[in-house]
Amino acid sequence: MNRQRLATATAILGLLGSLTTSAWAGGPDPGRQDPPAPVTRVPAAPGTATALSGYAIRSTAEVSDPASAVSSPGYPATGWHRAGPRSTVLAALLADGVYADPFYSTDQRKIPKADFRVPWWYRSDFTVADTSARTYLDFSGVISAADVYVDGKRVATAKDVTGAYTHHELDVTSLVRRGTNTVAFRIRPNDPVKNLTMGWIDWLQPPPDENMGIVRDVVVRRGGPVALRDAHVVTKLDVPSLASADLTVKARARNDSGAPVTATVSGSIGPTTFSRPVSLAAHETRTVTFTPSDVPGLHLTSPKVWWPAGMGGQPLYDLHLTASVSGTPSDTAHETFGIRDVKAPLNSDGARQYRVNGRALLIKGGGWSPDEFLRWDRRYVEDRLRYALDLGLNTIRLEGHLEPDEFFDLADRYGILTLPGWECCDKWEGQVNGDEPGDKWTAADYPVAKASMAAEAARLRDHPSVVSFLIGSDFAPDATIEKTYLDALKAADWNTPVVAAASDNASPRLGSSGMKMTGPYDWIPPGYWYAKREGGATGFNSETSAGPDIPTLDTLRRMMTPAELDTLWKDPSARQYHRSPSSTFGTLKLYDDALAGRYGAPTGLTDYVKKAQLAQYENVRAQFEAYGRNATDAAKPSTGVVYWMFNSGWTSLHWQLTDRYLDQGGAYFGARKANEPLHVQYSYDDRSVVVVDNRHTAASGLTVRAALFNPDGSQKYGKTVTGVTVRGDGAHARALTLPSSVSGLATTYLLRLTLTDSSGKEVSRNVYWLSTRPDTLDWAHTDWYYTPTTSYADLRGLASMARVPVSATASTVTSHGTSTTTVTLRNTGNDTTPSLLTDVHLVDAGGRPVLPVRWSDNEVSLWPGESVTLTARCRTADLHGSAPRLRISGWNTPEHTVPAA
């Protein structure tokens, strides 16, 4: 992301942090009772891979014993902190209760950075009962570097174990003893400006420890004399017929003994089996390959093809390999893969157009943020990915922060495409990004970069959800760095597109990225998205949004003090800690000025949040609708848009479709509405009403109705168009164009669109609040992060809408751990006024939101006498024994709560 003004702000924050005195310099409480140290039992069976179950950690400033003692079995780790198997230092200290919740107020500021400017020890014990097998330590995810010890002996130095993504395998067979053994890492401090690791740019206030620690599993492998490594399957699908696929199986057989050996490598994929003897000299490694020419069963007819969600199923295949010596298994390997074809050529306008299995698709994605402290929670990640599907998104972009294997396993299973790549604004682009943060590379950095690329390519290549790797973000690599990456990718048999950058840049061999990074990142009006320029709906926009996404009142009260909440709505120029460390994005002034200019000055916190939800709904909806409408245009079509961002790694005031606690507001439901499978929408640029078909199949016999109302609900215009037909795969059909002026229409007015199918069933309803006075953009003064607005649309007439009662009747059924609540809402008002953006929240007996929850629809608008039935699904356990209730509220609907048991 373009972060040209970040360097100064980051430096100032770093200086302030270094001046903070330690809150726990006295060390651990001598009276505390330490939990038992983690001990991992490692079996001897060949091919087993056992992750260490956790660590005891402590600052080297508090440990005076030599490394040989610290890393030896039996060392008394008294007073050390416990850490999970994937844990940064700060994550462990938070779990141990050392600090208050860093997601609340400015409590994270109170955590002393000085405590993380020295190395920390990580030690873990494992036991083996049989030392006849060979033993290896296998790991990546060390931030930023580490000296590694086993049973008192150093087995690797920080010079070798450096970089968050580099993969390491250490043969420790000669050191391992029967009984208890100890692994110890002396982790060095992290500085993403200086190290090829991970940094947070301007997404959130960076963690004081800069994520130093071990954030992926450290695995103890056991095996015989011959090891199997790098097992993978190269797939070639016949496109467009999809009638056949060729599979090529590869693996490296490595003789780790000092004598020649003949191994038999055998394997299977479904019913197809194959086998081959491999002669290996002492310490020799050979690549073993099985192809359809020697194994006919690897040529598949009618293969089970993997598709993105909504385009087909997500079948997966399993590869099983065994290396045997004299009939005894020596090692095994297992890999899951999918069969699909991805191409991403540049179209005639130079934009990148993705095609999966021969079918073009509009990339509709969101930028992914892991937890700020890189804590892995599979259920939490799965919940967010389900939300992505619920929103109609098909892609997640990971700018750095490449999640563990399970993330991509889940993406494979759910059919969510992923766009991983390196991040900007730190060491990764330091060689090419001018004066932005990031040190220039030295000779020592190139091998680390190549090893990082090789490791990630080997890890990700068999995941069908992974459809590209972006080797640059804001900047494309130079010729030397590009060659470093491409050589590693080629060696790994990478067979999906490689993209030079997420911005409109080119690298010497790959050429143009076919993507743009032209903003916006801060507030612009909804009509902005329809212009085929800057960040508007043309080409592939790799990261963009209208900036702030104010969460619900429930979440705001969980993350800010009453005084901070008071400032939030009263002072647009105030620095907002929960926005960004960047001076560019430090306040909400652009957003707040627009909110007041369009909707009227807020009268209190509740009014501010209500207006924010309206503003976010209309803006996010417009962003996705514009890109959806333009996707099949003959000239300058839109090919991809990534909402910046899908989620936040902490409690944030910007860049999120769903907040830290998985609550849902205007931004969420605006995106969900825009991405309906069959959708009717309004165009801000030319007043056209179009139907977009996001399904594969065409639709015919559709009826579109459009009606314009004043805020009091009096209708001033109506038109019905029948017999509308629209092709599938993202095509759109224009149904009608609204008149430029309508007699009696107020300055602020409402547009209601409905779409019914050939049977008369309503399949899409869409309500807009508009103004006869448009937002006016000053394109000539566009900055990298926004385009100024010189005059605002007048939506203040919404304040005159009469309060409308909405009744609700609800019930809940529970089955197999899931509770499904059904609610029928009805506008029971006596006049003509509609209820605008009526929200339903599932809450417990204490009024707290039950999260996560998936709604069939929400934030709906109802005219008098109209009703709608909605469903909400949640885990029964998340009710914590409480009877479910529903809290009903809206722009002009008084808040009330009804039982839903």
Q: Other C-beta atoms within 10 Å of 277: how many?
A: 11
| Residue 573 CB-half CA count within 13 A | 0
Rounded to whole angstroms, the Cα distance separating 679 from 658 reads: 22
* Of 579, 603, 581, the residue nearest 590 (C-alpha): 579
* Of 618, 567, 610, 562, the residue nearest 588 (C-alpha): 567
Rounded to whole angstroms, the Cα distance separating 330 from 351 reads: 50
* Of 192, 204, 33, 174, the residue nearest 106 (C-alpha): 204
Please indicate whether residue 676 is annotated as part of the active site: no
Residues 6 or more apart from 815 whose CB is under 8 A from it? Answer: none
Pairing status of strand 806-815 against strand 789-791: unpaired
Instruction: Please check whether residue 348 is in contact with residue 503, taking contact to mean a CB–CB distance below 8 angstroms.
Output: no
Rounded to whole angstroms, the Cα distance separating 39 from 74 reads: 12
CA angle 871, 877, 881 (to 5 degrees): 95
Which helix (H) or strand (E) segment holds residue 17: the answer is: helix 6-18
Rounded to whole angstroms, the Cα distance separating 834 from 21 reads: 57
**Annotated active-site residue in 456, 543, 618, 775:** 543
Please indicate whether residue 543 is annotated as part of the active site: yes
Burial of 813 (0-12, 13-18, 19+ CB in 10 A): exposed
Instruction: Please check whether residue 593 is in contact with residue 643, taking contact to mean a CB–CB distance below 8 angstroms.
Output: no
Q: Which residues of 846-872 are buried (b: 16+ CB within 10 A; e: fewer)?
A: eeebbbbbbbeebbbbbbbeeebebeb
Handedness of CA 861, 867, 868, 872 (dihedral sign): positive
Instruction: Please check whether residue 843 is in contact with residue 851, taking contact to mean a CB–CB distance below 8 angstroms.
Output: no
Length of the chain as a residue count: 901
**Annotated active-site residue in 436, 474, 659, 859:** 474
Residues 6 or more apart from 859 whose CB is under 8 A from it? Answer: 613, 617, 666, 669, 837, 838, 839
Instruction: Please check whether residue 351 is in contact with residue 345, taking contact to mean a CB–CB distance below 8 angstroms.
Output: no
Report the SS3 class of residue 860: strand
Residues 6 or more apart from 19 whose CB is under 8 A from it? Answer: none
Q: Other C-beta atoms within 10 Å of 342: how many?
A: 17
Tell me the residue ranges of DSSP E strands in 738-880: 748-756, 762-771, 776-777, 789-791, 806-815, 818-827, 835-843, 854-855, 860-862, 867-875
Question: In Å, what is the CA distance from 828 to each residue of 524, 803, 811, 825, 862?
Answer: 36, 11, 20, 9, 10
The tokens for 233 are: 């399957």
Report the SS3 class of residue 37: coil
Rounded to whole angstroms, the Cα distance separating 891 from 381 reads: 32
Question: In Å, what is the CA distance from 176 to each residue of 126, 152, 184, 497?
Answer: 10, 11, 14, 43
User: C-alpha dihedral over 609, 568, 625, 679, to 10 degrees?
Assistant: -20
Residue 752 Cα to chain centre, angstroms: 33
Question: In Å, what is the CA distance from 811 to each residue of 590, 622, 855?
Answer: 43, 34, 14
* Active-site amino acid positions: 474, 543
